[in-house]
Amino acid sequence: FEKHENEVGTPIDADVLKYHVIPGKKTLDMLTSDQETLQGGTLTSYRKFRKNWLDFAIVGLKSEGPSKSSNWPADVEADNGIIHGIDTVLVPGAYTGSR
């Protein structure tokens, strides 16, 4: 969060946290097209370069090869939902342009 705070110049607030929550229990396979967030915004789910994405965040990456340095698990069951790890902080309205 410190890296993100320095880039934007403002602290992380409740809207940013709610932007990371998609209501319901959805596995990675169920995340297709646009997903409405608890904040009210929309994350676009797509597949590119053999990876799953929500806007510009990689979802559920599992490193292959000798380093195996970066892992963001997907489909982690919790009592009130399913958790998917991502590689960046998503900010409402911060991403524009083509994917």
User: CB-based burial of residue 81 (10 Å sphere; 0-12 exposed, 13-18 middle, 19+ buried)?
Assistant: middle
Mean pLDDT of all residues in 51-75: 77
Fold of 2-83: FAS1 domain (2.30.180)
Res 1: pLDDT: 46
Q: Where exactly are the structural domains of the chain? A: 2-83
Mean pLDDT of all residues in 76-98: 82
Gap between the Cα atoms of 51 and 75, Å rounded: 15
Res 6: pLDDT: 47
Res. 38: pLDDT tops 90:
yes
Mean pLDDT, rounded, of the chain: 80
Give the DSSP H or E segment for 3: helix 2-8
For the chain, give the percent of residues with pLDDT over 70: 74
